[in-house]
Structure 1
Amino acid sequence: MTAHTPALSRRRTAIVTAVVACGLLLAACGGNEMEGMDHGSDSSASASVTPAAGHDPAPGAFNDADVTFAQAMIPHHQQALEMARLADGRASDAEIKTLAAAIEQAQDTEIRTMKSWLKAWGRPESADASMPGTHHGSSGSDHSRMSGMMSADAMRRLRAAQGTAFDRMFAELMIEHHQGAIAMAEDQRKNGRDATAQELAADVVENQSAEVEKFRRILDRL
């Protein structure tokens, strides 16, 4: 029994060595396979992530027209919000009040949406950053991309108006303001690339055209 011990020890050593080697080989194969699966999962997850409707589009699927549309429409909408908020305490016509509230709700949401696009695209929110010397806002602008913007004087007159005078002025100014937005949206539909921006532009054309007609009917009866 003692004479067989060295041979047995050698066989046991060989068996243990083989088992260990197989274990290491399996672990290495398994590790490489799992590593590949992890990378594949990450890639699939990234590719399958879709933005919420009306929010960040996939970066890359846009062109300069999309950027121009968002950068110009944000201050254009901001002035519409400023105008709509003046109706509280000044407007007397019920339909004017309803339209003002609808404009405020819709355009505030659209502003947030367009800001999210620009962030996703890596572009500044304001066109001023790329066009020194231009100024957007309630003071107005003569730039073609900002058609329909009210002058500072028009905004002062609207703030000073009350009752029916406010209702009539608000309708007149908002028609002009909406027509400017519609023109900008039509340009986006012709020249833009991003599908989400195209959808919003189509909504602007449809909704604001309908509101223009409502304001015209209001003016006919005031």
Structure 2
Amino acid sequence: MRNTVRTFPIRRVALVAAAVSAALVLAACGSEDGDSGREGHGSTPSSSASSTAAGSHNAQDVVFAQGMIPHHRQALEMAELAAGRASSTQVRDLASRIEKAQDPEIRTMSGWLKAWGEDVPSATSSAMPGMDDSAHSGMPGMMADKDMTELEKASGTGFDTMFLTMMTEHHQGAVEMADTEKDKGGYGPAKDMAGDIVTGQTAEIAEMKKLLGKG
């Protein structure tokens, strides 16, 4: 009986010691995991660095976005007319591709301007901020209101010819604006978009000239 009383506390102490050791091991592992977690969060500055690497925007980037948004919107207006007025499947296909390419670019450029604290051109106006609607016709490739009215009234092969002629001029203006952004812009994503516009719309100009029999 006396031996039993003596061995029980010893066995209990051993168990407690083992539990303490296990707890210390788990705490050490938890500390290592926590350090790993902090290292993972430490990657945030690198994402900020990559964002900074895009470059700060300059006045040309603002001019590019504020000008290209209404320019694209007019192209979308023209493209939307093709669905119900064009007689050529090729013209309708081209118009659809123009819509798919330019609508997302409008949203992207609008996001840039908001982030920069700059005015976004109104969706109901074809003019840049600070201009009245009559001023937009001075932008490269922009159609005057009377041209848009004539296009709206056209249909069939007459529409096809008018659409291709007007859109060719419109694209040439966009390429001119994009070339300026490539040369003078400071914001990487804007310069990249300008490069895409030059490449994509130059190819479409060649396609439209071919459809007009001028290629």
| Structure 1 length-normalised TM | 0.70
Q: Distance in 1 between matches of 2:90 and 2:82?
A: 11
* Structure 1 residue 117: Cα displacement: 1.0
- Residue equivalent to 1:45: 44
The structural deviation recorded for 1:88 is 1.1
Residue aligning to 1:87: 82
Give 2:170's match in structure 1, choosing from 164, 177, 181.
177
Q: Give the CA deviation at 1:41.
A: 8.2
1:117 is matched by which residue type in structure 2? W
Q: d(CA) in 2 for partners of 1:184 and 1:154?
A: 21
Q: Which runs of 5+ in 2 are unaligned?
A: 1-33
1:96 aligns with 2:100: no
CA contact (8 A) 1:91 1:162 kept: yes
The CA distance in 2 between the partners of 1:155 and 1:84, in whole Å, is: 11
Q: Verify the 8 A CA contact 2:66 2:129 in the aligned structure 1.
A: no
* Residue 135 of structure 1: how far off its partner (Å): 2.6
Number of matched residues? 176
CA 1:82–1:131: 2 relative to 1, 3 Å: closer
Alignment of 1:35-184 (within 5 A): 45=44, 48=47, 61-126=56-121, 132=130, 134-136=131-133, 141-143=136-138, 146-184=139-177
> What is the aligned partner in structure 2 of residue 6 from structure 1?
none
In structure 2, the CA distance between the partners of 1:167 and 1:90, relative to structure 1 (3 Å rule), is same
CA contact (8 A) 1:57 1:120 kept: no
1:212 equivalent among 188, 205, 209? 205
CA RMSD in angstroms comes to 3.0
Verify the 8 A CA contact 2:55 2:186 in the aligned structure 1.
no
Q: Does residue 194 in structure 1 map to residue 174 in structure 2? A: no
Indicate how the Cα distance of structure 1 residues 140 and 82 shifts in structure 2: closer, same or farther if over 3 A, else same.
farther
What's the CA shift string for 1:99-147, capped at 9, x where partnerless?
0000011000110111111112221113999963x135xx66244xx21
More helix per residue: 2
- TM-score, L = length of structure 2: 0.72
* Greater displacement, 56-65 / 160-169: 56-65
| 1:202 aligned counterpart, secondary structure | helix
In 2, distance between residues paired with 1:167 and 1:57?
45
Identity %: 44
Query: 1:180-221 deviations in whole A, cap 9, x for unaligned?
Result: 100000000110011101110000001001001111010118
